[in-house]
Amino acid sequence: MLAAIPETQDSKYTIPLLPVNVMLPEYPLPESVEYVPDIEFASVDGRMLKLDLLKPAGASGKCPVVLYIHGGGWHSGTRKVLQPLPLAMNGYAVVSTEYRLSGEAPFPAQLKDCQAAIHWIALQGEEWGLDKGRLGIWGNSAGAHLAALLGLLGEKEIQVAELPVPCNDNSCHSSVRAVVASAVAADLNRLVVWGDAVSAMLKRNSSAFAPLLGDSGQSRQVKLLHHSSLDQLFGVRAEDHPDLLSRASPVAWIHPDAPPFLLLHGEADLIVPVMQAYRFHNALEAAGAEATLVLLPEHEHSVLYDRRGEYQPQNMAYILSYLDRHL
């Protein structure tokens, strides 16, 4: 289903205008939100993985929970981003997880780490007031790729990281009821082709991209997704291994029982082109799964900030309303 976001924000939600490039430790949190940073949730070869918890302060009863997976081309990024804060201001607990970046470990380490975070929610979430039966995932960019795989695969095909508590029965399993994937890389082979095409066109005539790139056209070239991110993610020359790219692509794992997906994508995104979202959406619907695609005409790679860098609270409100319906 194709959908559009209303121009005016739903007034029932509390959504601050979040600044760009400010992290959680520096941002003054409202009294309505409890913030618990640096919770250890798994160990891999002696390396402790940590998550941050945001939740409504003084909540009575268990809260629906959203696992947030940050972006950064798989090689950078932090769980300390502000993007999921409005969820905690509107009744949700947010588990913002770290995962081993590609410079530390190749794929599928990133997916295993995110799966271990879901196990933590199932095993220990109740102690923190989390309702593991009302679980959603929100991932952005590289995090959307991991969120999509996590929602589609569940526990299949993946061996989870070493957990603080062994998983011997269904007590540590938790079903994903909805996935929000913003700027998702769904087909990695086609992403390689896109990177080649854009690189070639920029070398020939960068001015042709001026309407999309604006004044930052030259500086934006270095941000385009080329082979380096995927090469580092897999530890091999990615374009020489199309089968590997296919197995790591969410489109390869679609099935009729997939959880509902909300896909948001900027129409002017040159890092992950909007056709990735179209392809993923169409494949989900063809398989009989529920999928909603929202295209954002004034957005590049960010779905919460438009191309002028201005925060768009109505987009956050749409995500909240989607989660309200499914969790």
Name all domains of the chain by residue range, CATH numbers in brackets: 2-188+249-326 (3.40.50.1820)
Give percent of the chain with pLDDT exceeding 70. Answer: 83
Picking from 114, 104, 105, 100, the residue whose alpha carbon sits closest to that of residue 145 is 114
Q: What's the pLDDT band for 241 if we cut at 50, 70, 90?
A: confident
pLDDT average, residue stretch 196-200: 57
Q: What is the bridge-based pairing of β-strands 176-182 and 291-296? A: unpaired
pLDDT average, residue stretch 156-181: 57
> Which pLDDT does position 73 carry in this prediction?
92
pLDDT average, residue stretch 242-250: 91
Picking from 68, 80, 79, 85, the residue whose alpha carbon sits closest to that of residue 30 is 85
Picking from 305, 275, 302, 280, the residue whose alpha carbon sits closest to that of residue 291 is 280
What is the pTM for the complete model shown? 0.89
Picking from 263, 261, 318, the residue whose alpha carbon sits closest to that of residue 287 is 261
Helical ranges in the chain per DSSP H: 85-88, 109-124, 142-153, 188-205, 210-213, 217-220, 227-234, 242-247, 274-286, 313-326
d(C-alpha 97, C-alpha 113), whole Å: 9
**Can you list the positions of beta strands (E) in the chain?**
2-3, 33-44, 47-56, 63-69, 93-97, 130-140, 176-182, 261-266, 291-296
pLDDT average, residue stretch 111-125: 93
d(C-alpha 312, C-alpha 256), whole Å: 33
Locus of tokens 């197995």:
247
Q: What is the CA radius of gyration of the chain?
A: 19
Residues 6 or more apart in contact with residue 110 via CB below 8 angstroms:
74, 99, 100, 101, 102, 146, 233
Does 142 score more than 50 pLDDT?
Answer: yes
Contact (Cβ atoms closer than 8 angstroms) between residue 296 and residue 263: no
pLDDT average, residue stretch 214-242: 68
Q: For residue 70, what is the DSSP state?
A: -
Does 215 score more than 50 pLDDT?
Answer: no
The pair phi, psi for residue 74, each rounded to 5°, is 70, -10
Among the ranges given (93-102, 203-212, 227-236, 278-287), the one the predictor scored with the smallest mean pLDDT? 203-212
Among the ranges given (41-55, 96-110, 182-196, 275-289), the one the predictor scored with the smallest mean pLDDT? 182-196
Q: Who has greater pLDDT, 215 or 268?
A: 268
> Which pLDDT does position 6 carry in this prediction?
78
Q: What's the pLDDT band for 143 if we cut at 50, 70, 90?
A: very high
Q: What's the pLDDT band for 35 if we cut at 50, 70, 90?
A: very high
> Which pLDDT does position 158 carry in this prediction?
43
> Which pLDDT does position 202 carry in this prediction?
57
Among the ranges given (8-22, 120-134, 265-279), the one the predictor scored with the smallest mean pLDDT? 8-22
* Best mean pLDDT range from 51-65, 173-187, 204-218, 230-244: 51-65
Does 199 score more than 90 pLDDT?
Answer: no
Structure tokens at 134: 């009302």
The per-residue DSSP string of 246-259 comes to HHTSGGGG--TTPP
> Which pLDDT does position 271 carry in this prediction?
85
Would you say how long the chain is, in residues? 327
Q: Bin 89: left if φ > 0, else alpha if -120 < ψ < 50, else beta.
A: alpha
Span 62-73, pLDDT tens digits: 999 999 999 999
Q: What's the pLDDT band for 59 if we cut at 50, 70, 90?
A: confident
